[in-house]
Structure 1
Amino acid sequence: MPRMTAMTLGSVAALWRYPVKSMGGESCAALHFEARGVVGDRLYAVRHPEGRFGSGKTTRRFRQMDGLLDFSARYEDDAHGAPRPVLHFPDGRTLSGDSPALDEALSDVLGQPVTLAREAAVSHFDAGPVHLLTSASLRSLGAALPGVDVDARRFRPNLVIQCEVPDLAELGWMGRTLRLGDAVRLTISAATERCGMVVAAQDGLAKEAGVLRHLAQVADMKFGVYAQVRGPGRVRVGDPVSLEP
C-alpha cells in the first residue's frame, strides 16, 4: 500500500502575538511555539478584584470589559534583557508593565478598579493555545460582505496561512496536523466560536455588526480554528505549511 504524503497548503502569511488578553497585539516576523502556545501570547490580562479577567465576553473565568481594544501592547526588553509588556493607552500614553503607575492609570481609563496580572495556574486562553485562519476564508468573507473591511485583526489570530483551499476548509481539519517550517506541528483541536469582539471598532477598523450576523447565518458562528502544539519550534513569515495525512 503506498504511503500517503503530506499535502502542501501554502505558506505562513502573518504571525501575531497579544501580550495582554483582549488588547491589540503585535505583528511579528517570527514567533516561537511551545506546548503552552506562542511564547508570551496572552501571558498578561487585566484582572478585576472579583478575580475574573477582562475579555470581550463574560464567562465563568472572564468578565466583559469595554474599552480593552482601545489599548494595544507589545514586548520590549527591560534593563536585564527580559521581555516586559509595554501598553499603549488610547490617549497616546505608553506605560511599561512594571510601572508603579500602571494599575491606577488602567483603572482610570476603564472606569473600574483593575490590575495587570501575569498568568498563574489557570491559562488566559479561551479554548485553545493557538488560533489560526486561512487567507481563503478571509477572502470568502470579504466577498460576501462588500464594503466591509474584513481584516484578519478582527479575529485576533496567531497565524494566517496563505493557501488556495475551499472556503472554511479549516473547519474540516479537526484532529489533523499542520507542519510549519522544519519542526513546528499543530494539531487542529476545535472550531473558533465568534463573539462580539469581531464587530468591535479598533485601531483602523470601524464597527461592523454585519460580520457576526453573516457568520451566524452561514457558519453557526464559527470562523477559524484552535490548535494544540505537538512539535515546538520557531516559525517565520514565509515558512511553508503542509497538512499531514
Structure 2
Amino acid sequence: MTHTVGTVERIWRYPIKSTGGERLERADVDPRGLVGDRLFAVRDGEGRFGSGKNTRRFRRMPGLLQLRSRYPEGTERPELLDPDGVTVAEPTAYLRRYLGRDDVELAREQTISHFDQLPLSVLTTATLDWVRAAVPGVRVDERRFRPNLLIRTPPGTRAFVEDEWFGCRAWIGSALCVEFVRSSERCVMTNEAQQDLPHSPLVLRAIAKAHHARLDALATVVTPGWVSSGAAVTLV
C-alpha cells in the first residue's frame, strides 16, 4: 500500500558546510545525497570542520551562517558570498580575515565525511508551522534547520509527523527512493543569526521542551535519481 504524504515545496543545497545555502528547482541525488551538498567545508589546522558546535570532528566558528555558498552553473567548485551577498575572490584568504584565524582553509571532502549524520534531511511544513507558533515574535523559516527538502503537507497534518516515517521507504517523484531512519538532534545552531534571521535562544528551547530537541527526518538514498519542486512524496 502506498500513501502520498505531501509534495516538495523547496530544495536546498549547502555547498560549503555551515554556510547559508542555495535554493534549487531541481537536483540530482546520488548515494551521498544531493550532488555537491556539503562537499566543501572550512577546515582548521587540527582537521576539524567549521560548525555551530564543538565535537571531535567539528569546531565552533561563529559567523559562518552569515555567509552563503552556491555553485556557479557548470562548475564543481562553489562560490563563497560575504554577508552582503558579494562573491569572494579568494575564499581561504577571506575566511582567515573574517574568522580571525590563520589556520583555516576551504577544503573538499576526503576520507572524513562533512555530514553530521545521514545524507538527506527532510522537514515538513506541519512541523515548521508548529515551531513558528511556539516562538511568536521570532522569525522562523526552514533555513534555521537546514533541510535538503521542505515538504508541503496537507492541512491538518500534525506537527512532527516525520516521526511516523521512520523505517519506511518513500518515492520522491518518479526517480528517487529514500529510506527514513531517524531525526536530527538539534543544537545551538538553530538559534544562530543568519542573513535576515535574528539570534534567539527560544527556538531550541521550544523544540527541546516539546520533542527532546529532535526535529526532521534523516534519510538514506535507496535508489539514486533526481528531485524537483512539486514532486509527490509517497510512502511505500
TM-superposed deviation, 1:144: 2.1
* Structure 1 position 207 matched with structure 2 position 196: no
- Decide which of 132, 150, 153 is 1:142's aligned counterpart: 132
Counterpart-to-counterpart distance in 2, 1:146 and 1:46: 34
Q: What is the aligned partner in structure 1 of residue 77 from structure 2?
A: 84
* DSSP-derived class of the 2:208 partner: helix
Q: What is the aligned partner in structure 2 of residue 112 from structure 1?
A: 101
- Decide which of 50, 61, 77 is 1:65's aligned counterpart: 61
Q: What is the aligned partner in structure 2 of residue 186 from structure 1?
A: 178
**What letter corresponds to residue 146 of structure 1 in structure 2?**
P
Q: What is the aligned partner in structure 1 of residue 150 from structure 2?
A: 160
Counterpart-to-counterpart distance in 2, 1:120 and 1:108: 25
* Structure 1 position 239 matched with structure 2 position 235: no
* DSSP-derived class of the 2:71 partner: strand
* Structure 1 position 225 matched with structure 2 position 194: no
**What letter corresponds to residue 185 of structure 2 in structure 1?**
E
TM-superposed deviation, 1:91: 5.3
TM-superposed deviation, 1:22: 0.1
Contact 2:81/2:87, CA 8 A, preserved across alignment: yes
**What letter corresponds to residue 3 of structure 2 in structure 1?**
M
* Structure 1 position 102 matched with structure 2 position 95: no
Bigger radius of gyration among the two:
1
Render the CA deviation track for 1:171-205: whole Å, top value 9, x for unaligned: 23211112100021111112111011111111111
TM-superposed deviation, 1:92: 5.0
**What letter corresponds to residue 24 of structure 2 in structure 1?**
C
* Structure 1 position 133 matched with structure 2 position 98: no
Counterpart-to-counterpart distance in 2, 1:181 and 1:195: 31
Contact 2:68/2:85, CA 8 A, preserved across alignment: no
* DSSP-derived class of the 2:72 partner: strand
TM-superposed deviation, 1:95: 2.4
Q: What is the aligned partner in structure 1 of residue 112 from structure 2?
A: 122
Counterpart-to-counterpart distance in 1, 2:179 and 2:44: 33
* DSSP-derived class of the 1:189 partner: strand
The root-mean-square deviation of aligned C-alpha atoms, in Å, is 1.2
* DSSP-derived class of the 1:212 partner: helix
* Structure 1 position 151 matched with structure 2 position 141: yes
TM-score (ref. length: structure 2) = 0.95
Structure 1 window deviating more from structure 2 (180-189 vs 86-95): it is 86-95
**Residues 91/10 of structure 1: CA separation in 2 closer, same or farther (3 Å cut):** closer
Unpaired runs of at least 5, structure 2 = none
* DSSP-derived class of the 1:16 partner: strand
Contact 2:140/2:197, CA 8 A, preserved across alignment: no
**What letter corresponds to residue 111 of structure 1 in structure 2?**
G
TM-superposed deviation, 1:225: 1.7
Contact 2:88/2:94, CA 8 A, preserved across alignment: no
Higher strand proportion (structure 1 or 2) = 1
Counterpart-to-counterpart distance in 2, 1:13 and 1:242: 14
In the TM superposition, structure 1's runs of 4+ consecutive aligned residues that sit over 6 Å from their partners are none
TM-score (ref. length: structure 1) = 0.92
Unpaired runs of at least 5, structure 1 = none
* DSSP-derived class of the 1:223 partner: coil
